[in-house]
Amino acid sequence: MVLIMKKIILFFVLLPTLFFAQNNAKINQKAIITGADPVSIIANRIPNARVYTVRGIKTIAIRGRSSFKTAGDEVLWVVDGMIYQYPPPFDVNQIKYLEVLESLSATNRYGSQGGAGVIIIKTQLSESDANSGKNIWYEEIPYTRDQRDSIRAAKKAKRVEKRLIKALKKVKKN
């Protein structure tokens, strides 16, 4: 009997601990890659791509491309709207968008430079911020949290109002 009571007490003592341990175990699932070569990481995500070195710089060649070979085997790199012949230094963790243009589509958009393919990368830094001459790292936040919440609430109220008006119109028709 005493053994059963000890088990019951132990169960009720450990139960809250297990409950809170599960709640605290929520971790942000974002993978951060450190110390890795950006060219190799990108090449692993592109089918028919191989990495090779030209003049000490790693770059990518896309196999299976069309016969539009007017330039070398090096792909053209477009990072946030800026065109590079070789991959520029950038952080892989900041890549927001990656697109690969091969053969004719690249040649149509980028001319003979894109004959070997084009890798388009957009990072977290938007093109408008990159091209504006202001220092975005020390820019003040335009709204406080309360102001943003009130703006969101006003927008939500407008959406709800539109839905109610549509619903009332449907009721009047019937």
pLDDT in tens, 86-112: 888 877 777 888 888 876 766 778 887
Tokens 């191989």 found at? 50
Rounded CA gap, 20 and 102, in Å?
Answer: 52
Question: Residue type at 92?
Answer: V
Question: Is the overall model pTM greater than 0.75, yes or no?
Answer: no
Across the strands, what pairs with 147?
none
What is the pLDDT tens value at each position of the chain, 174 positions in all? 666 766 676 556 555 555 444 443 444 455 555 556 788 888 888 888 888 887 888 888 886 555 455 556 778 889 888 899 888 887 777 788 888 887 676 677 888 788 888 888 888 765 555 555 554 444 455 667 777 788 888 889 999 999 988 888 888 887
DSSP string, 16-73: HHHHHHHHHT---------S--HHHHHHHTSTTEEEEEETTEEEEEETT--S--SS-S
Fold of 38-125: Ferric Hydroxamate Uptake Protein; Chain A, domain 1 (2.170.130)
Q: Could you report the per-residue pLDDT of 52-64, keeping only the tens digit for each? A: 887 888 888 886 5
